[in-house]
């Protein structure tokens, strides 16, 4: 059985992962609306992955005899000025998630909840990969620019890279 403190933190993170799924799905919608099919696929797959992250928290809470509590999920932003801005926002969001996971690990260690500490190690590794991928995509987008052929190439690259990256998961 989880402590009240740990279950509260885990439920909060579960809901943040749910928000993340909606955040990336909205980005996917923006991209397809702008004709950026590869980018849309990238963010749609990323949204699905975030739902899997949420489900892992849900299952862990359930498996420990704790009630998973799905709270109000805020609506994500709906508009961005460019694909570069979307990638900047996505990377910023992943850094927030990394910080929240690190806080969870800290709580688990402080209250000596080694089972939860062990459970969270998957997320620690996953966040490293998430940030690395988004940083690489952002760097490429900045390199080629937000217009014309450069935008076409980065959109195509996002489609290709998303297929490779997410097929490995």
Q: At what angle do helices 37-63 and 148-167 cross, to 10 degrees?
A: 30
Q: At what angle do helices 83-110 and 37-63 cross, to 10 degrees?
A: 10
Residues in the chain predicted with pLDDT less than 70, given as ranges, are 165-169
Contact 158, 137 (CB under 8 A): yes
Q: What is the pLDDT of residues 133-157, one digit of tens each?
A: 999 999 989 988 777 887 888 888 8
Q: What is the pLDDT of residue 158?
A: 84
E strand or H helix that includes residue 102 = helix 83-110
Q: What is the pLDDT of residue 144?
A: 86
Q: What is the pLDDT of residue 26?
A: 98
pTM attached to this predicted model: 0.92
Residue 107 burial (CB count, 10 A): 19
Q: What is the pLDDT of residue 161?
A: 80
**d(Cα 142, Cα 43) in Å, to the nearest integer?**
18
Contact 70, 15 (CB under 8 A): yes
Question: Which domains occur in the chain, in start order?
Answer: 4-167 (1.20.1260.10)
**d(Cα 112, Cα 117) in Å, to the nearest integer?**
8
Residue 155 burial (CB count, 10 A): 23
Residue 149 CB burial class (10 angstroms; 0-12, 13-18, ≥19): exposed
Contact 25, 47 (CB under 8 A): yes
DSSP state, residue 159: H
Q: What is the pLDDT of residue 154?
A: 82
């Amino acid at each position: 059985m989880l402590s009240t403190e740990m279950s509260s933190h885990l439920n909060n993170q579960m809901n943040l992962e749910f928000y993340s799924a909606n955040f990336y799905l909205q980005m996917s919608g923006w991209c397809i609306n702008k004709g950026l099919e590869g980018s849309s696929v990238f963010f749609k797959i990323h949204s699905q992955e975030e739902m899997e992250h949420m489900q892992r928290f849900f299952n862990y809470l359930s498996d420990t005899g704790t009630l998973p509590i799905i709270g109000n999920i805020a609506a994500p932003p709906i508009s961005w000025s460019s694909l570069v801005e979307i990638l900047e926002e996505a990377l910023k969001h992943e850094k927030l998630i990394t910080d929240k996971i690190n806080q969870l690990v800290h709580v688990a260690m402080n209250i000596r909840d080694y089972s939860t500490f062990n459970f969270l190690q998957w997320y620690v590794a996953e966040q490293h990969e998430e940030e690395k991928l988004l940083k690489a995509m952002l760097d490429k987008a900045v390199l080629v620019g937000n217009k014309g052929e450069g935008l076409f190439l980065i959109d195509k690259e996002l489609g290709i890279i998303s297929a490779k990256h997410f097929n490995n998961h």
